[in-house]
Amino acid sequence: MTNSDDQAARADSPQGYQVPATRLPERNQASRKKRWIGINCFAFVVSCLLLPLFAIAMMFGLDGLHISLANSQHQLATGFVLLASVGLPIFTTIYLASMLQWVVTREIKWQSWSLKSATVGTSALLTSTLVMLLLPINSELFSLLTFGFTSCLISVVQWLELRKTIDQAWHWIVVTTLAWTTLGTLVIGFGLGQGLAPLSDW
């Protein structure tokens, strides 16, 4: 028997048979959790840079409208300016941050992903902010609950899109909620009440 025949025999034997390795799509590999953490951390940093800029620009832009209204309209103007100064920057920031998170997979519609995330996140944050301003609540503890509640709602909305194309997409809810709650509490959470308090005097 020649060497080539011997090699063929060994390859065809049970000992020489090997099952071809199945390569999972990149988005379904175990390393995706690390990438998701990095994506969420990057989106959070961008949000921290954009939100103050949007808020300052909005307050300056609406300040002239607030002053020009008659005294009888000041109460209505105050509510409008407060809502616009807080709501619009938050909505825009969440929308842009969600566009960054959208890179987890290109198979979802980024318009739906970002718009739903921004709408749900803004509604949750505004509701929590109004509750914190109107009721005697411990601002530090409530800030922690606010970030947890808001990030969880946003991640659930995003999960509804991810589960169409990604296996075990519920991991996204866990990663996003923990990342944003932890970073938000450390960086912004404890100062959220103090930072928004001056707006209540308008």
Which pTM value belongs to this model? 0.69
Percentage of the residues of the chain whose pLDDT score is greater than 90: 6
pLDDT in tens, 20-48: 444 445 555 667 888 889 889 998 888 88
| Total tally of structural domains belonging to the chain | 1
16 found inside a domain: no
pLDDT in tens, 109-148: 888 888 889 999 888 888 887 777 777 766 667 767 777 8
110 found inside a domain: yes
pLDDT in tens, 81-114: 666 767 777 888 888 888 877 777 777 788 888 8
197 found inside a domain: yes
10 found inside a domain: no
1 found inside a domain: no
- 5 pLDDT tier (thresholds 50, 70, 90): low
Calculate mean pLDDT across residues 159-178. 88
The domain of 79 spans 32-201
Give me the count of residues in the chain: 202
21 found inside a domain: no
102 found inside a domain: yes
Residue 5 class from Cβ within 10 Å (0-12 exposed, 13-18 middle, 19+ buried)?
Answer: exposed
Q: What's the rounded Cα separation, in Å, for the pair 33 and 12?
A: 40
63 found inside a domain: yes
